[in-house]
């Protein structure tokens, strides 16, 4: 199991008002329980996969509309 080593604190994202964190490009590490400003898919600290979309269904749908995502 992965564990937080504290490296992710360097990349901690600041809170942002107006948009959702995911819309702003922030990603969430579930192991470290922190939002990161990071461009890669894995956490620099624990190497777990970062979440790029919200878990709530309504929030996910809203984000898809804002990103102009089209199902094929």
Contact between residue 52 and residue 26 where contact means Cβ atoms under 8 Å apart:
no
Beta bridge partners of 51: 28
What are the extents of the domains in the chain? 7-66
Give kind and range of the element (H or E) at residue 28.
Answer: strand 27-29
Give the pLDDT confidence score for residue 34 in this predicted structure: 93
Strand, coil or helix: what is 61?
helix
Q: pTM here?
A: 0.78
Strand, coil or helix: what is 26?
coil
Give the pLDDT confidence score for residue 42 in this predicted structure: 94
**Chunked mean pLDDT (size 10), the chain, 72 residues:** 84 84 90 92 93 89 82 66
Beta bridge partners of 28: 35, 51
């Amino acid at each position: 199991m992965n564990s937080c080593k504290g490296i992710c604190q360097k990349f901690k994202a600041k809170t942002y008002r107006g948009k959702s964190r995911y819309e702003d490009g922030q990603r969430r590490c579930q192991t470290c329980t922190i939002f990161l400003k990071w461009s890669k898919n894995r956490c620099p600290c624990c190497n777990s996969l970062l979440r790029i979309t919200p878990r709530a269904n309504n929030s996910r749908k809203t984000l898809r509309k804002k990103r102009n995502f089209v199902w094929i």
